[in-house]
Amino acid sequence: MERRKKLAMLEAIYRVEETFVRGLEPVCKPGCASCCTARVTMTTLEGELIASHLARIGEGRLLERVRRSRDRSTERFIPKITTNRLAEICLRGEEIPAEKMADSPGTCPLLEKDRCTIYPVRPLACRTMVSRVDCTATGFADMDDFSVTVSTVLMQYVEHIDGDGCLGNFTDVLVCLSSPAHRTFYRQGALSCPENGLVQNRPIPALMIPPEHRQRIRPLLGAVAQIRS
């Protein structure tokens, strides 16, 4: 699939997610940045959208800030498996590999005065972090189970679209794609994920939807199906 079509599908999925979130009445608001940490993961397709956006608005300094943050962070979260790989493991009844989560992941380097500098093109993991309570009061987000299911399913679709790409900590993905050579390799479907500290994306084996959410999620799946058709 050509790059332009992939990016168009990604942005369409973002619009589906925005429609879903509008119906939740979340407490999240501008300046609420407690959940904006360096623990976020994303696909190379999302990284391509962000890198292109930063280049278009002339914000190379933000990429340099991400690079410095990545180089300083020895405890950043580096995923071992993707969402679709997790689905494969669950289908086979195999043991899920333990993921090491950083105790102090640090603040997202793309924040300025508690505002996201890439808000229009922020990755799906940020978009779907929708809390029912004020995180500043509790210290953590409180997502309802259905929102978690929607987040997981949309991540599966984005990974599937970016099938020849990779997934990783967002700082690793952005630093990788800041290299013209790596971006060329990615666009050719020839980027080596392991060499760049990333993991290979995989196709959807099955959507991870609990039985109690299957009826409720149908409209969202229908909207995604329209994107893919």
Q: Are 121 and 13 in contact (CB under 8 A)?
A: no
Q: Is 134 left (phi over 0), alpha (psi -120 to 50) or beta?
A: beta
Strand partners, 163: none
Helices 44-56, 60-72: axis angle to 10 degrees equals 130
Residues 6+ apart with CB under 8 A from 228: 9, 157
Residue 127 neighbours by CB distance under 10 Å: 17
- Give the pLDDT of residue 29: 67
Candidates 173, 41, 148, 151; CA nearest to 102 is: 41
Q: Would you say 191 and 185 are in contact if contact means Cβ atoms under 8 Å apart?
A: yes
- With a pLDDT cut of 90, the percent of the chain lying above it is 55
Widest CA span in the chain = 48
pLDDT tens across 22-75, in order?
A: 776 666 666 666 777 888 999 999 999 999 898 888 777 888 889 888 887 667
- Number of domains within the chain: 1
Q: pLDDT (tens digit, 9 = 90+) per residue, 74-89?
A: 677 889 999 999 999 9
Residues 6+ apart with CB under 8 A from 157: 13, 204, 224, 228
The 10 Å Cβ neighbour count of residue 34 is 17
Q: What is the pLDDT of residues 136-150, one digit of tens each?
A: 666 666 778 898 999
Helices 145-161 + 3-22 axis angle, to 10? 170
Residue 40: which domain range? 3-228
Min mean pLDDT across 28-32, 68-72, 105-109, 159-163 is at 28-32
User: How confident is the model at residue 105, as a pLDDT?
Assistant: 67
